[in-house]
Amino acid sequence: MHDAALQAPIPAPPAPQQQADPGTPEPLAGAPAAPDQLPAAAPPAPETQAEPEAPLGPPVEGIDVSNHNGDIDWSQVAAEGKKFTFVLATDGTSFTNPRYGEQYHGAKEAGLIAGAYHFARPGSSSAEEQAERFLNTAEYQADGKTLPPVLDLEVDPKAGGCYGLNVDQMQQWTKTFNEKVKDRTGKDAIIYANPSFWRECMGSTDSFGNHALWLASYDVDNPAVPSGFGDWDFWQYTSKGKVAGINTNTDLNQYKEGLARLERLAR
């Protein structure tokens, strides 16, 4: 038997080196990523859904008061079913209701929705001056219990007529006052007026038709709405109301569209 020589295994040839594809060079540091390497785009934000309109309801009863109404027991007013009040804050250039704080805050503490009003005297000073003083007194708050500020437009109580201003001047004064209210509160002022004033002093303009209308019209079943407005929102229907907790005659009002919409207006 011959000794077989043990042969060392033949080493395998080296594997060929992987050659870089000259057509796809490596990106340089800091170079923008290739389009297929970009992060996926974020999905579009969902569209904001408009808040549904508050339901229409039966008219809501309320009042408006001033310093002439004296001391008021607001708990009795609330117990009688009154849901809102407007309170005189300022009149013209210089008068401030000395009872404004107690009336306004007393109503809110009793659960009423409250708003402040300014008796305008356009012939005595500028709209900016009267609006500024009114807003400083009214202390408007977007607290869910406060109605938009009110501009009370009536004939000159001393001389009658339109305070010595023509229709264009009255419209400009009103526009400027309302712009000041909007700038300070984010709300469009409620406008208080009666049909004859709106016709004679404001020329039946429709420039303020987007404002809520507080209409003064007594002793009628269906008040006439001034030209320029689609309908009334608040209606002051008597100045001789009797309300528990108030010793004097009181202005009585309705809000036309129900409690839910009144509460929405106060937001």
Task: Please say if the pLDDT value at position 135 is more than 80.
Answer: yes
Which run of H or E residues covers position 234? strand 234-241
Does position 224 have pLDDT exceeding 50, yes or no?
yes
Q: Decide if 180 is inside a domain.
A: yes
What CA–CA distances, in Å, run from 148 to 47, 126, 184, 201? 29, 21, 11, 23
Instruction: Please indicate, yes or no, if residue 92 is contained in any of the structural domains.
Output: yes
Span 142-157, mean pLDDT?
97
Tell me if 155 is assigned to some domain: yes
pLDDT score of 3: 40
Number of other residues whose CB lies within 10 A of the CB of residue 134: 28
Structure confidence at residue 190 (pLDDT): 98
- pLDDT digit string, tens, across residues 36-61: 555 556 666 556 677 788 999 999 99
Domain that holds residue 163: 60-265
**151 assigned to some structural domain:** yes
**CATH number assigned to the domain comprising residue 64:** 3.20.20.80
**Where is average pLDDT lowest: 25-39, 62-76, 137-151?**
25-39
How many domains, the chain?
Answer: 1
Q: Is residue 246 part of a domain?
A: yes
Q: How confident is the model at residue 18 (pLDDT cuts 50, 70, 90)?
A: very low
10 in any annotated domain: no
Q: Among 174, 173, 250, 256, which residue's Cα sits nearest to residue 212?
A: 256
Tokens at 163, concatenated = 């305070």
pLDDT score for 25: 46
Point out the residues that are catalytic: 64, 152, 154
Mean pLDDT of the 136-165 span: 96
34/50 Cα distance (integer angstroms) = 41
Task: Summarize the confidence of residues 226-255 as an average pLDDT.
Answer: 98
Residue 204 CA neighbour count, 13 Å, CB half: 7
Domain annotation covers residue 40? no
* Average pLDDT for 73-95: 98
Residue 28's pLDDT is 46
End-to-end CA distance of the chain: 113
Report yes or no on 77 lying in a domain: yes
CA distance 138 to 135: 5
